[in-house]
Amino acid sequence: MNHTGIIEMRSVIQRVVTLQETFREVLTGLTKLATGTDEGLDRLSDSMERLAAAQRSILEAQQSTDDKLNTLIAVVDDLVRSARFDAVPECTQPEAPNS
């Protein structure tokens, strides 16, 4: 192998080493990204679970409010209906004219 061949071989080896270092940096970055993604997904999952629990709580509170409101409406409706009939005077037969 002549001197020119050795220089070209070194040049190729240096490029291969440079590529290997670049790939190592890329893989390190991808590993960090994947780890961050896993952690982000874990946080997102926790947040979704808390959101679902809050929604269930709100739904239960809304149902309780609806039940209480329906009860109140029924009581007021009964009061209004009974007051309306109590306020109506009893019908009486008109008196016959004195002839």
- pLDDT per position as a tens digit, 17-30: 999 999 999 999 88
Distance CA 24, CA 30 (A): 10
Average pLDDT score over residue span 57-70:
93
Does residue 32 register a pLDDT over 90? no
The mean-pLDDT minimum among 33-42, 58-67, 73-82 falls in 33-42
Distance CA 46, CA 54 (A): 12
Long-range contacts of 24-31 (CB under 8 A, 24+ apart): none
How many other CB atoms sit within 10 Å of the CB of residue 93? 5
Does residue 59 register a pLDDT over 70? yes
Distance CA 60, CA 58 (A): 5
Average pLDDT score over residue span 58-63:
93
